[in-house]
Structures are given as C-alpha cells and as structure tokens.
Amino acid sequence: MKQRILIVGGGFAGVWSALGAARVVDMERGADTVVEITLVSPKAELHVRPRLHEAHPEQMAVPLLPLLNAVNVKFIEGTVDRIHPGDHSVDVITTSGDTRSVGYDRLVLTSGSRLFRPPLPGLTEHAFAVDQIDEAVKLREHLQGLAARPRTAARDTFVVVGGGFTGLEVATELPGRLRAIFGKDYQPRIVVVERNEAIGPDLGPGPRPQILEALDQLRIETRLGAGVVSMDATGVVTATGERIDTDTIIWTGGMVASTLTRQVSPNLDRQGRLEVTPDLRVIGAKDIFGAGDVVRALTDDQGHYSLMSCQHALFMGRFAGHNVAADLLGLPTLGYSQAFYATCLDLGSWGAVYTEGWDRQVKLTHAEGKERKMVINTQWIYPPAPVREQALAAGDPNITY
C-alpha cells in the first residue's frame, strides 16, 4: 500500500522537512507501507534569502534536484494555488500554466513568507526590495545604472524604509556596494527611516550600542519615530512631513505568512501564521503539519515562540518531516523544541554583532562577529551535500547545533 507525503514549499523548512521525512522512511523501509515523498515548489532551488542584501543576489540559489534525488524525494515544479483539506488534495499551477490536482495522505505546509507591502502611495511603483532574487537583482541593476546619471543630491541619496534586521543589513551593506560602483572615495547619503522610537526595535537593547556605533562609523543617518507615508519617483515623505529627495527607495517593512495559511485554518496570528500542536500539527486541520514562517510554534518551556527566520525554519523542518512520516507509519511523534536562540546581524564593513539568548547577550562584535556571520551564511544554513548518508543525517531532529 502506497501512502503519500506532500511538502508544499522549497525553502529552508520545506527542504529540511523532506530530509526529516526521508530519514524516517529510510529507517522503516522494511514496513508494509510504501511512502512516497513529494516536494512542490516554483523552482528546484533553495533561495538563500538571508543573503539577498549582498552584491550578487543571483548567486544565492542552491540546486535541489541532486539532494532530493539522493534521498528519493520526488519534485513537482509549480505553485500550489489551492489546498483542499477535505479531500486531501492541492491544485498546482505548473510552469506551463496548466492546473494539476495532486493528492496526499499527509501534508506539510512550508510555503514561507512574503514581504509586507501595505497600500502606501507609490510603494508598488517606486520602491525596491530584497525579498526575492529577482527583486534583489533589479535593485543591483538600478544601483549600477546610477553611475551613468548626472550627479545630484537625489542620485546620491538612498532611503531604506525600515530599521529592523533586514533594513539594517541593507543599509550597512550599501556603502561598500556603492563604492565598488562609484569609486573608493564615494560618500553616499544613506537614511534609515524607522517608525519606532528606537533603531532595531525587534532586536532589543542588547546589541543596540553596537548598531549605533556601526551606523555612526558608516555615516548612516536615521529618522526615528515616524514612518514613510508616501513615495514617488523623486523621493519619500515621512509622517512628520519631512521630504527626502532620492532616486533609490528600498522597502524592508516586515514579513507576513504565505496566504495559503488562510485555506487551512481561520486561526491565524497577526502575521498570518497557523497555530500548531507541540508536534507541529496544524490545529483544526486533519493530516496537515506545518513548519517555518507559516506557523507560530512554541520553541521552549520559557514561553518563547518561533520567529520568521531560517534558524527556526530549518529546525522546525526536521521535526515536521520526522513527525509527518512517523504519523503515517504509526510511530510516535516528537515535540518540537529549540531552546538555543542566537542572532547575528551583519553591519557591513564595521563587522557584525552576534548575540545569544532571547535577551540577546552580545558575544561577538566587529571582525569576530563578521567571521561568525560568514560561517552561518555560507555553511550552517546551506543544505548538505547530495550524498545519501549525509543528507539523511541532516534530517535528524535530535541535532542540537
């Protein structure tokens, strides 16, 4: 008898869900039930979104087919348009534009998140972003094209809307990127606009002194306590009425979950995330598990919940994959737990600040922090080699690093 596991989404949570499920199936390959695992995603690539603020975003795509083939996971190239929990099927729009129905016995929703874009005047028409590879490439091409324009204050002014994690990494990376285009003596005017009263509001007070030091060293201005209310082809206007003339607006206004969550359950948090049980089953949705940015999961016994980050998505993926396969095979499931929490914020040529714990105790700064960031961004968050034994081992939810 064949049973089918369908994983919707090929990001960090989806890839590690596939590895986690394949590992359980491999361990139970003598069972009477034959389990077929399929991952569906628009492209057979893992996009390394934490690195899209860098100078070469087109290089941030990791091929998935060798890895999936190594662990016997099938792949469907397409986008899931509808989920039908009642009849255990999804509608997939293929790359040719056709709609295909795909059935499942168990489903893991790992369709990720998207950049929050409120209905602000001019946002769609005039702001750049680094949420997806094509958007980041468009920004890179724009930056390169600025060198051919006459020198004006607007050409040399860059407004980053949002002073959170992504906004800070974008802003502090810009000086180096722009000097590579304009020359080593180029001094751009970079302004970060943050509607909260403090920079890096979600990062808390722990790393704030280092953030402020980096912004000062890099000559980056801030506008705090007033967000952007409108944008046009020549600049932005803040809630205080200040107008900043610029040819370059970069929007980093937070994340919201994939809209597929609405088709699974009406019980969503303010970011559109699903409520799940300790073993990552979606509450109120039969035979559906979730992981990554689409769920709000308790990470420890201290009351901390998962964030929209690859750090949590990757670990949750292992548990969701393990549990969906275990549930299908009649084995015990595991409660998701991820007590260790760390952040590493890239701050351009200043370095980086690495913290541990939910109170974000600073452990490494400057060059040492940058070295840790490079290890995280180039090794820890990348999939394993497409070697079966290594790939299956990477799906083990008991891994603690």
The mean predicted confidence, pLDDT, of the chain is: 96
DSSP-derived secondary structure letter, 385? P
Considering the domain boundaries, does residue 369 fall inside one? Answer: no
Among residues 216, 232, 251, the one where a domain terminates is 251
pTM of model > 0.85: yes
Q: What percent of the chain has pLDDT over 90?
A: 97
Q: At what angle do helices 12-27 and 310-329 cross, to 10 degrees?
A: 30
Domain count of the chain? 2
The residue-averaged pLDDT of 11-38 equals 92
Same domain, 87 and 163: no
Q: Which residue among 220, 251, 282 closes a domain?
A: 251
379 within a domain of the structure (yes/no): no
Query: Average of pLDDT values for 363-371?
Result: 98
- Residue 262 shares a structural domain with residue 287: yes
CB 167 within 8 A of CB 197: no
Predicted confidence at residue 399, as pLDDT, reads 84
290 CB burial (10 A radius; 0-12, 13-18, 19+): buried
Per-residue pLDDT reduced to its tens digit, 89-137: 999 999 889 999 999 999 999 999 999 999 999 999 999 999 999 999 9
* Residues 46 and 78 occupy one common structural domain: yes
What pLDDT does 221 receive?
98
* Judgement on whether residues 226 and 278 belong to the same structural domain of the protein: no
Residue 401 has pLDDT above 90, yes or no: no
- 343, with CB counted inside 10 A (0-12, 13-18, 19+), is buried
pLDDT of residue 128: 98
pLDDT for res 146: 98
Contact 130, 56 (CB under 8 A): no
| Chain segment 61-83, per-residue pLDDT in tens | 999 999 999 999 999 999 999 99
CB distance 157 to 188 below 8 Å: yes
196-243 pLDDT, tens digit each: 999 999 999 999 999 999 999 999 999 999 999 999 999 999 999 999
Domain that holds residue 55: 2-115+255-340
Same domain, 128 and 110: no
29 pLDDT band (50/70/90 cuts)?
Answer: confident
Contacts of 376 (CB under 8 A, 6+ apart): 344
At residue 96, the pLDDT reads: 87
Residue 30, pLDDT score? 66
Could you tell me the pLDDT band of residue 32, with boundaries at 50, 70 and 90?
low
pLDDT at 31: 67
